[in-house]
Amino acid sequence: MRREGVALVVSAPSGAGKTTLIRRLLGEFSTFSYSVSCTTRRPRAGEIDGKDYSFLSREEFEHRKAEGFFAEWAEVYGNLYGTPLEPVWGMLRQGSDMLFDIDVQGAAQIKLSLDGAAVFVFVLPPSMEELERRLRGRGQDDETVIQRRLESARREMTEAGWYDALIVNDTLERAYDALRSVYLSATLAPARNPGLRACLSA
Ligand code: ADP
Ligand code: 5GP
């Protein structure tokens, strides 16, 4: 029986392990489409335009923003990021699950615009020391950027109390099990299973 799509929004302070967890979920469940965001930041080595992000100039981003192209947008670490509105509604209407990797400010906007249709997960590092270790271990950022990310992490974690699920990424196995459980439970909600709901009153 056909069900409606789950919009799963995942946020985390940079370095907590969100990308690792999301890639695994996308690898296990082919039901998911990934919401490709637009950004003004430069591509990192290995990132593909149109797959990881749509990379835009600031001018183009501002133009699309003014046209109402984005479901939400935010400035994160000095760059603009936004979720295109149209593909989101289209995919959910078709019954596809959608995965969003967005920061706390953007997640709060999605909460308002999707009006209860989305499930929100916040991934926490086991400690600030471990977060710092992971940021350094990833070898992507210089010292100034690491310090800025740690400062933002503290702020983001104080803003995350409204999420539906908080997952501590201590061991990857445990954190991944928790994430897939949140997703699988969401697929069972009566609101996403109109066919089964009809059986209840039959
Ligand atoms: P984010 O997307 O949240 O910035 P990443 O997924 O890039 O984080 O992970 C940051 C670093 O931490 C990567 O080097 C990744 O391999 C490592 N990592 C992720 N999860 C764990 C874990 N549970 N234990 C140890 N290292 C981890
Ligand atoms: P990165 O540049 O490391 O890929 O991402 C930096 C931050 O921007 C992450 O916290 C990520 O979740 C967030 N982000 C990525 N895409 C979007 C988006 O479309 N909207 C918002 N609000 N945040 C995003």
**14, 41, 76: which to mutate for ligand 2, most atoms within 8 A of CB?**
76
CA-CA distance, 82 to 69, in Å (whole number)? 9
Question: E strand or H helix at 100, and its extent?
Answer: strand 97-101
What's the full length of the chain, in residues?
Answer: 202
Task: State the pTM of this model.
Answer: 0.93
Mean per-residue pLDDT, 10-15:
94
Of 176, 181, 199, 183, nearest to 19 by C-alpha is 176
**Residue 86 above 80 pLDDT?**
yes
- Distance, in Å, from the CA atom of 19 to the CA atom of 12, rounded to the nearest integer, reads 9
Mean pLDDT of 60-79: 94
DSSP state, residue 164: S
Could you tell me the pLDDT band of residue 192, with boundaries at 50, 70 and 90?
A: confident
73 and 113 in contact (C-beta within 8 Å)? no
The residue contributing the CA closest to ligand 2 atom 16 is: 102
Sorted by where each begins, the domain ranges of the chain are 7-201
- What is the fold of 7-201? Rossmann fold (3.40.50)
For residue 115, the model assigns a pLDDT of 65
Q: Is 16 labelled a binding residue?
A: yes
